[in-house]
Amino acid sequence: MSEPTMNAPKLFGQAVVYGLFALAVGYLATRPVWSHFDASNARLLVSFTHGGKTAGDCHRRTAKELAELAPNMRMATVCTRERVPLLFEMSIDGSPVHRESLPPTGLRGDGPSRIYEKFSVQPGRHEVILKLRDTKRTEGFDYERRATVELKPGQNLSVDFKAAQGGFKFE
């Protein structure tokens, strides 16, 4: 057997093809220029995860009910796992912008509710009202936040919710 010989034209052709491929990838990585939103506007981003209160009441078992259970299952008080859906409302400058019922996640409806919404807003001063209901009540809201915000063109303002810190936070 003879040793394989280097085929210069073949290697040169491969280099040209690989080079053209690299140039095409580089060009398509930067062109066409695309923007997620109009830079002359501002964006309000509402994103949070929060678990509502439990949907059912707790039940205290009787002595008879406890006796019928296996020893390792004898919990005196039993509570349902399901959570209530959250009701979220947002108004900007007195106009309702978003209202949504956020169902709990999870197979048994016992996980937290989630929201991720983006709103394009004209730059300038705006009054933002955020409301959230996380209990079984049918009227009113459990958390409410009014704020006047000054938005600049191209600015992203994030709205988060932390119940332990008092409710809605602007970041």
Residue 108 domain boundaries: 42-53+83-170
133-140 contact pairs (CB < 8 A, 24+):
133/86, 133/87, 134/50, 134/51, 134/52, 134/53, 134/84, 134/86, 134/163, 135/52, 135/53, 135/84, 136/53, 136/55, 136/84
- Is 97 among the domain residues? yes
106, part of any domain: yes
Query: Is 3 among the domain residues?
Result: no
0.75 exceeded by the pTM? no
Overall domain count for the chain: 1
pLDDT of residue 4: 60
Using 50, 70 and 90 to split pLDDT, how confident is the model at 7?
confident
Evaluate whether residue 35 is within a structural domain.
no
For 6-16, what is the mean pLDDT? 87
Residue 141 counted as domain residue:
yes
In a domain, 22, yes or no: no
In a domain, 30, yes or no: no
CATH value at residue 166:
2.60.40
Mean pLDDT of 41-64: 91
